[in-house]
């Protein structure tokens, strides 16, 4: 049997590692678009701040040798042929498979005019991030303009601010991280970011990147144009499914999968940002493009490939900001039938409850309760008269409270 994995991101390499835990001999080929060993995108900002390699190359630089993988680096799959059980690479190489894993992740989604102008940076790969940081280090970037104040946009802004760059972010919505944060938590995050020197232009629509041969400005909907030394698109991500067009594998926004993470095609599996997996709480298919989902999906695929029948429990929506200087955590739904809230200064806790169960929470300033709240949420445990205690400042932090809940 031959296994081919498309993509060597967190999902692809974890599929390979999981298979190897059970099977040392099955031939595994990984096709990697990158010319680096597998890396962890969430560790990129830290890597650029500290120069340390270790959390970035999270499986070790020698992972391919250690796991006996045939890695095809710096190339892409351009077509998948189901009937012949083959993939074709961009250089025309054809590889046969018995089992195929699609772990091609996501790329930048920038639905703005002028998005193909040379000079627009993004942070969706180590190569792209290096290109930006190379310019910063060369002293070419004193000012930067970021379009989009989602988690990735904020992370880039804080990194660049730490490196002495004057950063402006333009965000269409009236708050930062609008898909994950409520108005109150977002306001705390915005104040903290501003105190770190980041200029936020909220409720401001960027219409287009402009320039004749390369980008030299961003045109706003009100007709103003903003300029900077560097322009960065952080407007969202989109699953990499373009090479599957015409293959017969069912895609929507992402790849459609069943509860074992099988695609619509026999012997073809998928994991990570490319997948539209059922949400753990709602059961609705959704692309929750975060690292823990990529890894847990990959483990499920790896186990299924070695014959251990494993059901995927569902994807979660979860994120935290690492470089804000104030811990922030956003998990699950942004609202519920009831809200339990506690606030003191910039420390805020909001827990959303529906049908007697936690469906989401937002923490800022103190995230120590995150573990207990998350466990309660994913267990689907009924709060049985505990709900009012969710607003206690000590709830989920003290051992006593923890013991009481789980008793
Ligand atoms: C800057 C940044 C910060 C982040 N911070 C966090 C965080 O704090 N917490 C968190 O949970 N998540 C975070 N994420 C998201 C997290 O990195 C992703 O969810 C995770 O990387 C998904 O892994 P993946 O393997 O599915 O996809 P990817 O990491 O996108 O890897 C897929 C790989 O497949 C390659 N590929 C694509 N098409 C093809 C093809 N046709 N042939 C061959 N290869 C192909 C891609 O180039 C890529 O190398 C962050 C992401 C970024 C960019």
Which ligand 1 atom lies nearest to the CA of residue 237? 53
Q: How many domains does the chain have?
A: 3
Ligand 1, atom 7: closest residue by C-alpha = 42
Among candidate residues 388, 392, 399, 387, the one with its CA nearest the CA of residue 366? 392
Q: Are residues 100 and 165 in the same domain?
A: no
- Domain-embedded: residue 243: yes
In testing the pocket of ligand 1, which one of 6, 39, 108, 290 has its CB within 8 Å of the most ligand atoms? 290
Q: Domain of 80: which CATH number?
A: 3.50.50.60
Per DSSP, the three-state class of 360 is strand
Q: Report if residue 150 sits inside a domain.
A: yes
Q: Could you say which DSSP state residue 22 is in?
A: H
Which residue minimizes the CA distance to atom 3 of ligand 1?
Answer: 42
Pairing state between β 357-364 and 328-332: antiparallel
Query: Are 304 and 260 spatial neighbours (Cβ–Cβ below 8 Å)?
Result: yes
> Which residue spans within 151-205 are E strands per DSSP?
166-170, 199-201
Region label for 270, one of left (φ > 0), alpha (ψ between -120 and 50) or beta (otherwise): beta
Q: Tell me the residue ranges of DSSP E strands in 148-297.
A: 166-170, 199-201, 206-210, 217-220, 225-226, 230-233, 237-239, 255-256, 268-270, 275-278, 285-286
Q: What is the pLDDT of residues 296-339, one digit of tens each?
A: 999 999 999 999 999 999 999 998 887 898 999 999 998 999 99
Which residue's C-alpha comes closest to atom 52 of ligand 1? 41
Residue 406 has pLDDT above 50, yes or no: no
User: Whole domain around residue 351: which residue ranges?
Assistant: 327-406
The answer to whether the beta carbons of residues 304 and 353 sit under 8 Å apart is no
Ligand 1 mutation pick, 150, 291, 315, max ligand atoms within 8 A of CB: 291
- CA neighbor of 173 nearest in space, from 163, 182, 162: 182
Residue-level pLDDT at 239: 98
Q: Which helix (H) or strand (E) holds 351?
A: strand 347-354
User: Cβ of 115: how many Cβ atoms within 10 Å?
Assistant: 17
Domain assignment of residue 310, yes or no: no
11 part of a folded domain: yes
Identify the CA nearest to 133 among candidates 109, 107, 105, 165. 165
Note the pTM of the prediction, 2 decimals: 0.95
Tell the residue nearest (CA) to atom 24 of ligand 1: 105
Q: Which residues contact 223 (CB under 8 A, 6 or more apart)?
A: none
- From ligand 1's centre to the CA of 152, what distance in Å? 12
Yes or no: say if 365 and 318 are a contact pair by the CB < 8 Å rule.
Answer: no
Which atom of ligand 1 is nearest the CA belonging to 271?
26
Residue holding tokens 């373009």?
242
Single out the residue in 186, 213, 233 at which a domain terminates: 233
**For the chain, how far is it from start to end, CA to CA, in angstroms?**
48
Nearest CA to ligand 1 atom 8: 42
What pLDDT, on the 0 to 100 scale, is given for residue 176? 97
Among 233, 255, 287, identify where a domain stops: 233
218 lies in the same domain as 250: no
- Judge whether residue 1 has pLDDT over 80: yes
Find the 41 Cα to ligand 1 centroid distance in Å. Answer: 6
The H or E element that residue 79 is part of is strand 77-81
- Is residue 115 included in any domain, yes or no? no
CATH classification at residue 361: 3.30.390.30
Domain for residue 114, yes or no?
A: no
pLDDT tens readout for residues 57-113: 999 999 999 999 999 999 999 999 999 999 999 999 999 999 999 999 999 999 999
Phi-psi region of 292 (alpha: psi -120 to 50; beta: other; left: phi over 0): alpha
pLDDT of residue 390: 87
């Amino acid at each position: 049997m031959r296994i081919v994995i498309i993509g060597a991101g967190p999902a692809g390499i974890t599929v390979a590692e999981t298979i190897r835990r059970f099977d040392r001999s099955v031939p595994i080929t990984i096709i990697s678009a990158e010319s680096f060993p597998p890396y962890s995108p969430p560790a990129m900002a830290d890597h650029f701040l500290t120069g340390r390699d270790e959390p970035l190359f999270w499986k070790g630089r020698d992972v391919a040798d250690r796991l006996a993988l045939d890695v095809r680096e710096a190339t892409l799959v351009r077509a998948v042929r189901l009937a012949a059980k083959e993939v074709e690479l961009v250089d025309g190489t054809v590889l046969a498979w018995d089992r195929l894993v699609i772990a091609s992740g996501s790329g930048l989604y920038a639905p703005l005019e002028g998005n193909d102008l040379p000079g627009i940076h993004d942070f969706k790969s180590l190569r792209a991030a290096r290109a930006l940081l190379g310019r910063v280090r060369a002293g070419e970037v004193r000012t930067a303009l970021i379009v989009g104040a989602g988690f990735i946009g904020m992370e880039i802004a804080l990194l660049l601010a730490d490196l002495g760059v004057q950063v402006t972010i333009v965000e269409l919505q009236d708050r930062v991280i609008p898909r994950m944060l409520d108005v109150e938590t977002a306001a705390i995050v915005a104040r903290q970011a501003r105190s770190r020197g980041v200029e936020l232009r909220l409720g401001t629509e960027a219409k287009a990147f402009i320039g004749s041969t390369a980008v030299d400005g961003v045109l706003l909907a009100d007709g103003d144009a903003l300029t900077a030394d560097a322009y960065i698109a952080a407007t969202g991500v989109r699953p990499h499914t373009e090479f599957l067009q015409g293959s017969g594998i069912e895609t929507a926004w992402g790849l459609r999968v069943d509860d074992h993470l099988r695609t619509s095609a026999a012997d073809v599996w998928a994991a990570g940002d490319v997948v539209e997996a059922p949400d753990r709480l709602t059961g609705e298919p959704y692309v929750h493009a975060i690292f823990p989902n990529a890894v847990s999906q990959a483990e499920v695929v790896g186990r299924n490939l070695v014959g251990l029948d494993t059901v995927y429990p569902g994807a979660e929506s979860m994120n935290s900001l690492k470089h804000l200087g104030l811990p922030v955590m956003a998990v699950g739904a942004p609202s519920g039938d009831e809200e339990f809230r506690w606030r003191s200064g910039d420390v805020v806790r909001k827990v959303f409850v529906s049908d007697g169960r936690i469906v989401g929470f937002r923490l800022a300033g103190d995230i120590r309760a995150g573990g207990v709240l998350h466990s309660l949420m994913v267990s689907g445990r009924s709060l049985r008269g505990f709900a009012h205690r969710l607003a206690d400042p000590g709830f989920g932090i003290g051992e006593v409270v923890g013991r009481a809940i789980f008793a």
